[in-house]
Amino acid sequence: MAGLLADDPVVASEIIRVAMEMARKRRMQLEIKAQIGGLERLVEGLGCVPWRFSYVEELPASVEGESWHEFCESLRLPRDCGYCKGCRRLRFGNAKQQHRVNWAVNKAIKLGLEVREADAGEDLAKWYGLYLQTMKHKAVPPRSYRFFKSLWSTLRPKGQMRLLLAEQKKDEQRNLVAGSIFLKFGQTAFYAFTGCSPRDLYLHPNDIIQMEAIRDACKGGFRWYDFGEVSEDNESLAQFKGKWGTEPKPLFRYYYPAVEDRSHTGGALMHSTRKLWRSLPERATAVLGDLIYRYM
């Protein structure tokens, strides 16, 4: 994510032309990731590939004189209460979606889960082990631990990064179950990275973490909460992010030289690759992920 680069088509076209020329001279490929469609119509030679959908929720704004408890904690809705954008309560879509969220969060609480913010480097190291498990299960290359240490040391002191941990309290002991990293930029809070052992998903740790993160974003005055993008073949993740009353927003990739859309090809190869990836040791996936992201 970057700050404002252009506020009219003429300036945007000139910036894109310069970037394309730089890529041509260096014999490199230019990739532009954007939430704006139609950039390929501004400059000849720029190709567009429709990407995935990002699930974004517009957060309510509190008003002066309204207590935080009144604004953020009163989540119950009447059965006949429909969705209304003018409502300032923290709500999640319609009454059915609200019920699903409340049920999952309440179950997590009944099972002894509590959320706290990570406050030491040891927390980050323990969380990274869960992150490797999650990425291995998804068959996606993980980011390096070095990358997360950089986020911790540079963004966290500025309040632009938080690591929320879900722990289960049992027999006077607290066991780490899951954790998620959230980034903040402008008026948007981003759900960026998560880690949870697949065997603990029944505890609904991700639900209770999301609830705490959304409340924190509201309290911090953010207007948007971005759950992030979802691939076409991950229906369960799309359902999880959709139940919070989010609105799917299309993302776009622009390339120079133009490339064809390969999103619907190579299904058999992808299946074999995922099967092989899930058979690797977690530390091996960490090493391979570090090598892969050096070229991405």
CATH code of the domain covering residue 93:
3.40.630.30
| Per-residue confidence in pLDDT tens, the chain, 296 aa | 566 788 888 999 999 999 999 999 999 999 998 888 899 999 999 999 989 999 998 887 655 555 555 555 444 433 344 444 444 456 677 778 888 888 999 999 999 999 999 998 899 999 999 999 999 988 899 999 999 999 999 999 999 999 999 999 887 788 999 999 999 988 999 999 999 988 999 999 999 999 999 988 988 889 999 999 988 778 888 889 988 988 889 999 999 998 876 555 455 556 678 888 888 899 899 999 999 888 76
Give pLDDT, residue 69: 56
The answer to the question of residue 76 being in a domain is yes
Total number of domains in the chain: 1
- Tell me 177's DSSP state: E
Structural domain that includes position 200: 62-222
The answer to the question of residue 207 being in a domain is yes
The answer to the question of residue 272 being in a domain is no
Distance of CA 90 to the CA centre of its chain: 20
Give pLDDT, residue 74: 45
The answer to the question of residue 241 being in a domain is no
Contact 160, 140 (CB under 8 A): no
The answer to the question of residue 294 being in a domain is no
At residue 125, the 3 state secondary structure works out as helix
0.85 exceeded by the pTM?
no
The answer to the question of residue 269 being in a domain is no
Give pLDDT, residue 77: 37
Return contacts of 88-95, CB within 8 angstroms, 24+ apart.
Answer: 88/60, 88/61, 88/62, 88/63, 89/60, 90/59, 90/60, 90/214, 90/215, 90/218, 91/60, 91/245, 92/57, 92/243, 92/244, 92/245, 93/243, 93/244, 93/245, 93/246, 94/245
From 193, 158, 160, 169, select the one nearest 179 (Cα to Cα): 193
The answer to the question of residue 174 being in a domain is yes
The answer to the question of residue 31 being in a domain is no
From 180, 175, 177, select the one nearest 201 (Cα to Cα): 177
Give pLDDT, residue 262: 56
